[in-house]
Amino acid sequence: MNRARPGSDAAAESGASPASVLVVASAQDAPSLQRTLRSAGAGTFRLTLADDLEAALQRLARERFDAVLLDMGSRDPRQGDAFSRLREMAGNAVLIVACGDPVALGAEVPEVDGWVARDDSAEAIVDRLRGALDRRGLREALRARTSELEESESRFHSIVERTADGIVVVDGAGRVRFVNPAAERLFGQSAAELVGQEFGFVALAGETTEIDVVRQAGREPIVAEMRVTATSWDGDAAQVVSLRDITDRKRAEEQGQRIIFEQAAREQAERASERARFLAEAGAVLDASLDPETTLVSLAELIVPHMADWCIIDLLEQGRIRRVAGVHADPQKSGLLEELKDRFPPSAESVQPAARVLRSGVAEIRRGLGADTLRELAVDDAHARLLLQLGIRSCMAVPLRARERCLGVMTFVCGERDFDEADLALAEEVASRAARALENGRLYEAALAANRAKSDFLAVMSHELRTPLNAILGYTDLLLAGVPGEVDDTQGEYLHRVRVSAIQLLQMIEEILTYAQTEAGRAEVRPRIIRLGDVIDEIAAIAEPLVREKRLEFRLEVLQPDATGFTDAEKLRQITLNLLTNAVKFTERGTIGVRAEVRGDHLLIAVSDTGVGIAPDALEAIFEPFRQVEQGTTRRVGGTGLGLSVSRQLARLLGGDLGVESRLGHGSTFSVVLPRRIAPA
């Protein structure tokens, strides 16, 4: 072989490790070939020499080489199996053969990576060797990349096949190109059925959304979270759609929301129930008494600590503010409330919330109060310190309004938390009810005062009218008795009529006087021992002229005339006489009867008549004051309308009662039942 010319090598220049080359040549040719390769390779190769094929095989058995350069001389590598063994043991090493005619042998010995002629230049041999090594490197790199690609595809398919998310590849036309098993389960269809179909959902790369997947009939729809990523498929733009079944999560979320809503509704119902319960208790407190101050103190005690830590109530009276209630949840701070009342009473022009609300009539609520913010509510620093001692974080001042007037203000204070709008609404409702109760109490007091004035007037007038009427009766009796002189029958008849009219007038005056006394609470019971027969005879003597005046039959029946009792004889006489007078007024013909008896521990007196009777729906109405069966200006009988009302009041005052039985057009029977003995006053 010719000597090689010196040359450079890119691998040597870059500092890469030299390729290991096994040179197989005869002992005669090997040194010359070694020098040629070293000269032309310029450090590119690390050479190892072998004299013949057997020596080469032994070297290949011990170590690996990047290339084998075999000088065959004139030998044919197709002859002999040593060449085949060399090829087998060389493995991945590049095999370059130098022979006499490489053109004739190259196509028929495919195991050889390159041929050179023995007379080729050193540069040609080195170039052929380098080219073969480069091709081997490319093949190995290709095999490695192919292996990596196959491994990557295998991993991808494994991930795609095993992932719980449905994977769908959608092409640019919106048709399905690929689905994984999870997507098959998700849609309830096989890949063969899905591939080629239109996807049916708007898929925008980079977006995440929720979709409802409607599946085949008989299978429930599911909710899926869809994520979209841009990709390519068979060289065309496509999208990878990831579908995650979130049906259970959505159900859990919906269930959680339902639980939250139910809990909120339950809490709201509990708050409403507690509010209604508190308002009911407040209503009971307000209805328990008509004394305004007692009621307001009881209300403040109910409010603390249910609504507030402490509460004060102020009333507006003749332009001045008066504190009527102050309650603190801590009994030890009650003294501080008294100090607040004495030292800092609110005035009409004060900056305190109570005074402002009284002026505006609009409720106020303040939150987040502390040492720095209390000064604007307080009169001075001492006032602010006292409020801090009482404990104040939030306060509400609510007006007591009734009939478009502001009667006062309620102040609610909490030391630990802030009041909210629900608290304010409840406070306004309580204040509204308290204002109505306060106004009702004041109206009741005014009505009592008016009633007392009326009763006093009626008592005075009745007394003043009875005095001259008694004189009329007295002088009439004297005239009828003939004391001044004899009177003829006509004069006697006239005097008799005067006496009857005077008795009727006296009876009406007695009714008015008794009614006034009972209404004013001044009626007194003066019991004494009575004989039943004597009382009835006295009543009959008074009533008989009235009965005879209307030409009615008068029947009197006393079953036990000697029976005694212990009761108020005057009131018993008045009750019975009222009933008799009433019976005479409403009876035009027939009979008036009185029946008296003792039944066990009770006295029974029944007054009956054959008059007009009473309709069933009017049996209780007749006992109302100033009420008569015949109403209006066309009534046929007179009277005050107080007789039955006064009689029932007196009967109950004596421990008994008065009842009635009647049929319209068939008369009536009034029955008085009294205890035979009543306890002395």
pLDDT digits (tens, 9 = 90+) for 468-509: 877 887 878 788 777 787 888 788 788 878 877 777 777 677
- Report the range of poorest mean pLDDT among 150-154, 243-247, 523-527: 150-154
Please determine, for residue 398, whether its predicted confidence score (pLDDT) is greater than 50: yes
| pLDDT for 3 | 38
Q: Rounded CA gap, 391 and 437, in Å?
A: 30
Whether 596 contacts 672, CB under 8 Å: no
Please determine, for residue 50, whether its predicted confidence score (pLDDT) is greater than 70: yes
Q: For the chain, what percent of residues have pLDDT higher than 90?
A: 19
In sequence order, what are the residues at sequence separation of 6 or more whose Cβ sits closer than 8 angstroms to the Cβ of residue 293?
324, 325
Please determine, for residue 226, whether its predicted confidence score (pLDDT) is greater than 70: yes
| pLDDT for 74 | 54
Amino acid at 45: F
| pLDDT for 126 | 81
In this prediction the pTM is 0.45
Q: What is the mean pLDDT of residues 314-323?
A: 88
| pLDDT for 8 | 38
In the sheet that holds 236-245, the strands lie side by side as: 176-179, 166-171, 236-245, 222-233, 208-213
User: Who wins on pLDDT, 430 or 53?
Assistant: 430
| pLDDT for 328 | 93
Q: Rounded CA gap, 67 and 95, in Å?
A: 6
Q: What is the mean pLDDT of residues 29-50?
A: 75
User: Who wins on pLDDT, 399 or 137?
Assistant: 399
Q: What is the mean pLDDT of residues 539-559?
A: 88
Residue labelled with tokens 């008849």: 493
Write the pLDDT tens digit of every residue in 614-660: 888 888 888 887 655 554 434 445 455 677 888 888 888 889 999 99
Amino acid at 167: I
Contacts 24+ apart (CB under 8 A), 449-453: 451/519, 451/520, 452/520
| pLDDT for 673 | 94
Identify the band that residue 462 occupies on the pLDDT scale cut at 50, 70 and 90: low
Identify the band that residue 1 occupies on the pLDDT scale cut at 50, 70 and 90: very low
Please determine, for residue 400, whether its predicted confidence score (pLDDT) is greater than 80: yes
Render 85-142 in DSSP notation, one character per residue.
Answer: HHHHHHTTSEEEEEES-HHHHHTT-TT-SEEEETT--HHHHHHHHHHHHHHHHHHHHH
Please determine, for residue 265, whether its predicted confidence score (pLDDT) is greater than 90: no
Q: What is the mean pLDDT of residues 206-225?
A: 79
Please determine, for residue 594, whether its predicted confidence score (pLDDT) is greater than 60: yes
Write the pLDDT tens digit of every residue in 75-116: 556 556 777 788 788 888 888 887 766 655 555 565 777 777
* 276 dihedral zone (left: phi>0; alpha: psi -120 to 50; beta): alpha
Average model confidence (pLDDT) for the chain?
81
Q: What is the mean pLDDT of residues 378-400?
A: 89
Whether 354 contacts 398, CB under 8 Å: no
Q: Rounded CA gap, 437 and 522, in Å?
A: 28
| pLDDT for 628 | 59
Q: Rounded CA gap, 412 and 410, in Å?
A: 7
Please determine, for residue 593, whether its predicted confidence score (pLDDT) is greater than 90: yes
Write the pLDDT tens digit of every residue in 407-435: 999 999 999 899 999 999 999 999 999 88
Parallel, antiparallel, or unpaired for β 94-99 and 67-73? parallel
| pLDDT for 6 | 36
